[in-house]
């Protein structure tokens, strides 16, 4: 049960103020219980008003594949992955949202993070193996002697980044060499498997560079025109907040849209958390956090920032509030954002 007025906040999101925007980027501090609620509010609003279909994940496409499969089938076991706690409630809501919608209007996920990258927890490798194992099983049932099966089987046990990269290259090459065969055999799964195996596996430069490169790659794989496609994403603040030399993904994404003759193609929302709870095992309350995390370092000398925060807090009558930046203050660090969202006294989300 969600103890907040999601419809009320949705009504206050005025996307008419950013008519040219095609990519809506929300800043977040990871593992906060309110995050799935904010994401759902944005997705539902954009789906209704901007024909949103694609949600971009700050995770590999192997996660997106699993999420998409759940949206299609509703199979609860797909949510048993150890990294799924904060996605479960959101996915359940999106499955309901998709219900009764034509295929052309159903929400789908696209993952643009590195296939493996820095996988200290091992979760990315697990998700990768699970994805390829799904396709191996499906092919053994449909075409037992298919040449892709040995590659998928070997990749399912690959442990090192080098091994995974090599198998990905071989799988992606075979998928493209025998395009018609595998499109007919795998149907919608063809693009999913190609996306998983074509994405960059490890760092070549910075992680932000790879995120943008994978986004551009996915546009090509899914045949999406950035000028006519609406996207939503909720990324960690280090990829969004431009203060102190961070937020390079947001800056690079804005430059990308400018290169496509869409100077206002990106809409960014900063988040201020007040006394919210984390979803970690040792759940704790974050008091007045988010100033640093979401939209710029807290500095007492920054009078414009403090004035804006005080005005925002005064307007909070419910758990959530939204302030259009243009209508409040375009002070340092804030002018980077189109909106500020404030989350106050939110209790733990129990999917």
| Residue predicted with more confidence, 242 or 144 | 144
Among 165-179, 248-262, 330-344, the minimum mean pLDDT is found in 330-344
Q: How confident is the model at residue 27 (pLDDT cuts 50, 70, 90)?
A: confident
* Sequence-distant (≥ 6) Cβ neighbours of residue 96 within 8 angstroms: none
**Mean pLDDT across 307-333:** 55
Instruction: Report the pLDDT value the prediction gives residue 300, as an integer from 0 to 100.
Output: 39
Q: What is the arithmetic mean of pLDDT over 191-217?
A: 91
CA-closest candidate to residue 209, choices 251, 257, 165: 251
Q: Judge whether residue 74 has pLDDT over 90.
A: yes
Does the pLDDT of residue 192 top 80, yes or no? yes
pLDDT of residue 347: 46
For the segment 25-41, the average pLDDT, to the nearest whole number, is 85
pLDDT at site 171: 97
- With bands split at pLDDT 50, 70 and 90, how would you rate the model's confidence at 224? very high
Give pLDDT, residue 32: 78
- Indicate whether 156 pLDDT > 90: yes
- Is residue 332 over pLDDT 60? no
The residues, ordered by sequence, that sit 6+ positions from 133 with a Cβ below 8 Å of its Cβ are: 152, 156
Q: Where are the alpha helices (DSSP H) in the chain?
A: 6-12, 35-50, 61-73, 85-98, 123-142, 148-156, 161-177, 179-186, 189-198, 207-221, 237-240, 248-259, 291-295, 303-315
pLDDT tens-digit series, residues 127-151: 999 999 999 999 999 999 999 999 9
Q: What tens digit of pLDDT does each residue of 259-289 get?
A: 999 998 999 888 777 656 665 544 444 444 4
Q: What CA–CA distance (Å, rounded) separates 26 from 271?
A: 8
pLDDT of residue 323: 63
The per-residue pLDDT for 4 is 47
pLDDT tens-digit series, residues 87-107: 898 999 999 999 989 999 999
- Give 334 or 241, the one with higher predicted confidence: 241
Q: What percent of the chain clears pLDDT 90, i.e. is strictly above it?
A: 50
What would the two tokens of residue 149 be? 């099966």
Q: Categorize the per-residue pLDDT at 294 as very low, low, confident or very high, splitting at 50, 70 and 90.
A: very low
pLDDT digits (tens, 9 = 90+) for 2-12: 444 565 666 77
User: What is the distance between the alpha carbons of residues 336 and 170, in angstroms, rounded to a whole number?
Assistant: 42
Q: Measuring CA to CA, how many Å separate 326 from each of 180, 295, 336?
A: 50, 15, 11
Domain segments of the chain as ranges: 6-114+206-344, 117-202
Mean pLDDT of the chain: 81
């Amino acid at each position: 049960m969600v103890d907040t007025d999601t419809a009320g906040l949705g009504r206050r999101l005025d996307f008419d103020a950013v008519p040219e925007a095609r990519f809506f980027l929300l800043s977040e501090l990871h593992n906060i219980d309110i995050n799935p609620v904010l994401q759902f509010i944005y997705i539902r609003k954009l789906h209704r008003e901007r024909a949103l279909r694609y949600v971009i994940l700050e995770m590999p496409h192997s996660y997106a594949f699993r999420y998409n499969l759940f949206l299609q089938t509703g199979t609860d076991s797909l949510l048993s992955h150890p990294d799924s706690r904060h996605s479960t409630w959101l996915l359940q809501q999106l499955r309901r949202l998709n219900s009764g919608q034509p295929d052309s209007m159903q929400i789908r996920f696209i993952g643009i993070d590195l296939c493996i990258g820095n996988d200290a927890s091992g979760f990315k490798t697990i998700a990768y193996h699970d994805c390829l194992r799904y396709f191996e099983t499906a092919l053994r049932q449909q075409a037992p002697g298919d040449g892709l099966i040995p590659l998928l089987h070997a990749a399912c046990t690959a442990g090192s980044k080098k091994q995974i990269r090599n198998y990905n290259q071989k799988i992606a090459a075979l998928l493209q060499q025998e395009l018609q065969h595998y499109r007919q055999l795998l149907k919608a799964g063809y693009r999913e498997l190609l996306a998983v195996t074509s994405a960059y596996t490890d760092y070549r430069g910075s992680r932000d560079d790879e995120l943008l490169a994978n986004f551009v790659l996915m546009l090509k794989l899914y045949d999406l025109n950035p000028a006519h496609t609406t996207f939503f994403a909720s990324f960690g603040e280090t990829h969004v907040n431009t203060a102190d030399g961070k937020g390079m993904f947001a800056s690079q994404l804005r430059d990308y849209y400018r290169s496509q003759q869409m100077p206002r193609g990106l809409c960014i929302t900063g988040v201020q958390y007040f006394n919210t709870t984390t979803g970690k095992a040792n759940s704790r309350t974050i008091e007045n956090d988010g100033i640093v995390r979401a939209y710029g370092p807290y500095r007492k000398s920054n009078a414009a920032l403090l004035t804006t925060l005080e005005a925002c807090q005064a307007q909070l009558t419910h758990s959530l509030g939204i302030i259009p930046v243009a209508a409040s203050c375009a002070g340092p660090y804030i002018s980077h954002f189109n909106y500020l969202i404030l989350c106050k006294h939110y209790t733990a989300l129990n999917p």
